[in-house]
Amino acid sequence: MASIPASELPECEKQELLCTYAALILHEEKMSITSDNILKLIKNSNNTVLPYLPMLFERALKGKDIQ
């Protein structure tokens, strides 16, 4: 995937990556990985994702050790 520029990714993959990167940033900054925080980071980066994606990431990562 690294050999494909982000601008050429299908929209669904780009949105998943945005949520993944947002969750990693929140974890690194020792902030709660919530759908609201994920969405704030994505909006602040001038991007958008489908409304349900941040919630899915929050649920998938809840209680998980992502060290």
State how far the Cα of 65 lies from the Cα of 67, in Å rounded to an integer: 6
pLDDT of res. 2: 67
Q: CA angle, corner 25, sides to 28 and 13, nearest 5?
A: 140
pLDDT of res. 1: 52
For residue 11, is it within any domain? no
For residue 5, is it within any domain? no
Query: What would the DSSP string read from start to end of 42-59?
Result: HHHTT----TTHHHHHHH
pLDDT of res. 5: 87
Instruction: Give the chain's residues under pLDDT 70.
Output: 1-2
For residue 9, is it within any domain? no
- How does pLDDT run across 47-66, given as a tens digit for each residue? 999 999 999 999 999 998 88
Q: CA angle, corner 15, sides to 24 and 17, nearest 5?
A: 35
Instruction: Give residue 53's domain range.
Output: 18-61
- Expressed in percent and rounded to 5, the helix, strand and coil fractions of the chain are 60, 0, 40
